[in-house]
Structure 1
Amino acid sequence: MSTLWSQDANFLSKEEAIKETLENNFGIKIAKNSVLVSDNNQNILNSGYLPSLTGNAGANYNIENQEVTFNDGTSRSIDGAETTRYNASINLNYTLFDGLGRFYDFKRLKEEYNLTELQARETIETTLLQLFSVYYEVARLTENEVVLQQTFQNTKQRLTRAEYSFDYGQVNKLEVLNAEVDIVTDSINLLNTRQELANAKRDLNVITNKGLERIFTVDTTVAFTNELRIEQFIREADTTNVRLLQAERNIVIGDYNYKASKSIFLPTIGLTGSYGWNEGNFPSTSFASSNTSTGFAAGLSLTWSFFDGGSGITTIKNAKINYANQELFKSQIANEVERDIANAKGNYLNRLNVYRLQEQNVITATNNYERSNERYKLGQITSVELRQAQLNLLNAKTNKNLAKYEAKLAELELLQLTGQLLNIEF
């Protein structure tokens, strides 16, 4: 069946569904944009290591009445004396040393970028789990539709046979009425399943961010990961689980915050430089009628805060406590992850065993129905007994379908907890 579907132009394979989700899902797009923002933040342009360069320019104009007495006793007065001044400069400021604050801040920004990448990975893993919970629901309902269609056809054949038998006086009207009731029930079940399938496909189209009414079929084959490989994944989980990796990054970030906060104990050394141009035009009451100057200026400054009122010391203490909290959070998460993996492993093995039992149950129910159908044709059992065998087969097949996809989803949840969800073939 999978081979036939793979030739369908509307066939949506697992790989194609993953590809569409990674490219189009809104949550994943937002997560990727967050990584880009974090990448910008860790850039040298945001590090504080580069100097600042500013340009200044100005012009002043004064008009006033002046009366001036010179050193030789003479005096002069001017009404409406004009004075103009112009200036322009380029100024450079650079922090040579700030107590290692920016050094650790720059390292923190790089770790925050790594943390954001892990957060994006967690979003992708969660979204893929959501994708497959819906994808496998579509697959389950697809298989259920086939089973219900077969059940409907069998009941329809039974109704036809009962009508012929009644016409020839071989059975009473009750056989026909029972078949008619059953065929209505089967029709309703088939209609409800088809509606559920249509709804599930819309849900899948939302996750993949495709057209809401896109028509497609899915792959109903399921392959389980080798149990020995899963055991290996579980042993390596402490180095691959995304929550634990995030906790480790938060510890490193807390350490850098603590080290950066201690920069208040060290001085700040700054370098300044400028190149400027000044020009002034003065009235005749001044000693010079104009003045123009250009030149460089440079300076070195040292600032050392011996006591800032205690806020810096408080910041250091709080940073140390936050660092200790991050270590506690990691221990807490480690315990939770170990528990979650144990529970997920138990659920997976249990559901896998249930699926295998359901497979055997389908074989038994199929044999029972086939034998019951033959006995019904020979008149050895009633239509009620045949209907019960038919329902047993229907329930066995739908329960097997449910168990198959529940087991696979349990496996995927376990693989996510071990940090291997993105490293397997679906």
Structure 2
Amino acid sequence: MNIKVFCIIALLLSQILLYGQEIITPDKAVQLALENNYGIKLAKTDVEIAQNNASILNSGYLPTLTGNAGGTYNLDNTEAEFSDGRVTTLKGAESSRYSASLDLNYTLFDGLGRIYNYKQLKETEQLTEMQARETIENTIVQLFTIYYSVAELKENTNAINQTLSISKDRLVRSEYQFNYGQSTKLAVLNAEVDINNDSISLMNSQQQLKNFKRDLNLVLGNTLNEVFDVDTTVEFKNLYDKELLLEKAKANNISLLQIDKSIAINKLGVKSQISAYLPTIGLTGSYGWNKNNNNAASFVAVSTNTGLSGGLNLSWNLFDGGRTVTNVKNAKISLEANTIQKEQQLVTLERDFKNAWEDFQNKLNIYKLQEENIETARNNFERTEEKFKLGQATSIEFRQAQLNLLSAEFNKNQAKYLAKIAELQMLQISGELLNVDF
């Protein structure tokens, strides 16, 4: 087959494979993670359990209804002496008893402990939902850390590939020049060494890209085919107000919200412990059926009873050895500890926000400088390339310009994605991560 035809076919096949890849956009990645990430799935099961615990069926407000049934059988040897002196002896006298009942129990008043316990379950449900939100936020940050690593490696690989192509062109030019006596064999050997180095760099970059794609697929619940691509477009359009974001952080930061919810739960816990000082009043009711088959020594051969019964009972734990007093004191101490923890979290939050804000601004400025730097490196390479073709620059100078351009592209790619991740981390601290478009 003609070499030109072979190259054309290979180029077409590579283009078909490239355009056949599924492009995973940031929005698509977030959607897949929310649906398939294993950590998020587990967090959702915790929310479902908390919802079940906070239902009326687990509140203690409903009565209990118990069904009971039983039977006994006796085989006795009986000797009965009557008042007139007669004595009757029975051997193997049979008797049996059967019973069945429905028993109802309902707590009318338990010192208000039931009310506070039920409210605690509702608050715990909301706390579990906040914990699930924290899991989602952490997963999204983890997702984009890997996603942008894939994007960076993709752009780096393309840059290395371009560098390799330039090195191959240089080898061809060096061989022509050597064949026509315009350069030495050393220029050819240098070009071959550079091609080998570029090929090794390309192989390593391609392998890293495959590894990070597997990591990304794992975060997405292993839902992607092995062949997929990511969108390398990154935009910084939002103009953030520092003071406004800080206020949002104090109002919406998920760690701070969880502490607030823990304080609410512990306040109810104190009231629940105090309720143990009050009495408990309960209502009981029963409907029963009893049948007795007596032996011959009894005056009544068979008796059957059915009927309703009901009553009220009161229980008041006047002194339990000091356990309730201790529980109340410990509950109040736990509440005080939560209050201290909130004060600490507020100070920490303000520090973390300022660090995140300045880190984002710094990385964004670095990215802008790297964009300018790459233009300088590109202009320098193009001029050096022209001089090299005219024989006014050595292969070493050409290679150095080539490596400078490649390094500038690496630095620009890294700065771009580090700035984007810093932006996401700042939004997470502010509680705004789930309110923005990706």
- Do both proteins adopt the same fold according to a TM-score greater than 0.5, normalized to the shorter chain? yes
Q: Which whole-Å CA distance do the structure 1 matches of 2:38 and 2:221 have between them?
A: 8
The one-character-per-residue Cα deviations of 1:381-422 (angstroms, maximum 9, x if unpaired) are: 111111111111110011000000000000001111111111
Partner of 2:12: none
**Superposition deviation, residue 6 in structure 1:** 11
Partner of 1:379: 391
**Superposition deviation, residue 70 in structure 1:** 2.8
Q: Which whole-Å CA distance do the structure 1 matches of 2:256 and 2:18 have between them?
A: 39
Instruction: Tell me which stretches of 4 or more aligned residues in structure 1 moved more than 6 Å.
Output: 4-7
2:168 corresponds to 1:156: yes
Query: AA paired with 1:87?
Result: S
Q: Which whole-Å CA distance do the structure 1 matches of 2:179 and 2:155 have between them?
A: 36
Aligned with 2:50 (options 24, 38, 43): 38
The one-character-per-residue Cα deviations of 1:154-203 (angstroms, maximum 9, x if unpaired) are: 11111111111111111122211211111111111111100100111011
Residues 142/120 of structure 1: CA separation in 2 closer, same or farther (3 Å cut): same
Q: Which runs of 5+ in 2 are unaligned?
A: 1-15
Q: Which whole-Å CA distance do the structure 2 matches of 1:225 and 1:244 have between them?
A: 28
The one-character-per-residue Cα deviations of 1:76-95 (angstroms, maximum 9, x if unpaired) are: 22211111110000001111
2:330 corresponds to 1:318: yes
1:70-89 alignment, distance < 5 Å: 70-89=82-101
Q: Which whole-Å CA distance do the structure 1 matches of 2:302 and 2:191 have between them?
A: 116
The one-character-per-residue Cα deviations of 1:30-76 (angstroms, maximum 9, x if unpaired) are: 10000000001001111111111111111111111112223444332
Structure 1 SS opposite 2:240 = helix
Structure 2 SS opposite 1:171 = coil
Calculate the TM-score normalised by the size of structure 1: 0.96
Partner of 2:186: 174
Contact 1:275 1:296 in 2 (8 A): yes
Q: Which whole-Å CA distance do the structure 1 matches of 2:406 and 2:246 have between them?
A: 37
**Superposition deviation, residue 294 in structure 1:** 0.2
| Structure 1 range deviating more: 144-153 or 206-215 | 206-215
Query: AA paired with 2:236?
Result: F
Q: Which whole-Å CA distance do the structure 2 matches of 1:369 and 1:6 have between them?
A: 29
**Superposition deviation, residue 284 in structure 1:** 2.1
| Structure 1 range deviating more: 7-16 or 201-210 | 7-16
Partner of 2:299: 287
2:61 corresponds to 1:53: no
Query: AA paired with 1:261?
Result: Q
Aligned with 2:419 (options 407, 413, 419): 407
Q: Which whole-Å CA distance do the structure 2 matches of 1:9 and 1:368 have between them?
A: 35
RMSD over aligned CA atoms reads 1.6
Aligned length: 423
Partner of 2:4: none
Partner of 2:200: 188
The one-character-per-residue Cα deviations of 1:91-118 (angstroms, maximum 9, x if unpaired) are: 0111110001111000000000000000
Structure 2 SS opposite 1:227 = coil
Q: Which whole-Å CA distance do the structure 1 matches of 2:36 and 2:17 have between them?
A: 24
Contact 1:275 1:297 in 2 (8 A): yes
Contact 1:202 1:212 in 2 (8 A): no
Q: Which whole-Å CA distance do the structure 2 matches of 1:348 and 1:214 have between them?
A: 33
Residues 7/166 of structure 1: CA separation in 2 closer, same or farther (3 Å cut): closer
| Structure 1 range deviating more: 64-73 or 173-182 | 64-73
Q: Which whole-Å CA distance do the structure 2 matches of 1:385 and 1:199 have between them?
A: 35
Query: AA paired with 1:129?
Result: V
Contact 1:202 1:213 in 2 (8 A): no
Structure 2 SS opposite 1:23 = helix
Partner of 1:421: 433
Structure 1 SS opposite 2:427 = helix
Query: AA paired with 1:13?
Result: T
The one-character-per-residue Cα deviations of 1:272-324 (angstroms, maximum 9, x if unpaired) are: 10000000011221111110000000010111111100111100000000011
Structure 2 SS opposite 1:76 = strand
Q: Which whole-Å CA distance do the structure 1 matches of 2:88 and 2:247 have between them?
A: 98
Query: AA paired with 1:95?
Result: T
2:35 corresponds to 1:23: yes
Query: AA paired with 2:179?
Result: D
Aligned with 2:145 (options 104, 118, 133): 133
Partner of 2:290: 278
Q: Which whole-Å CA distance do the structure 1 matches of 2:68 and 2:21 have between them?
A: 66
Partner of 1:198: 210
Aligned with 2:410 (options 398, 408, 412): 398
Contact 1:5 1:217 in 2 (8 A): no
Partner of 1:346: 358
Partner of 2:377: 365
1:181-330 alignment, distance < 5 Å: 181-210=193-222, 214-228=226-240, 232-330=244-342
**Superposition deviation, residue 25 in structure 1:** 1.0
Q: Which whole-Å CA distance do the structure 2 matches of 1:119 and 1:235 have between them?
A: 21
Q: State percent identity of aligned pairs.
A: 52
Partner of 1:93: 105
Structure 2 SS opposite 1:169 = coil
| Structure 1 range deviating more: 378-387 or 221-230 | 221-230
Calculate the TM-score normalised by the size of structure 2: 0.94
Structure 2 SS opposite 1:381 = coil
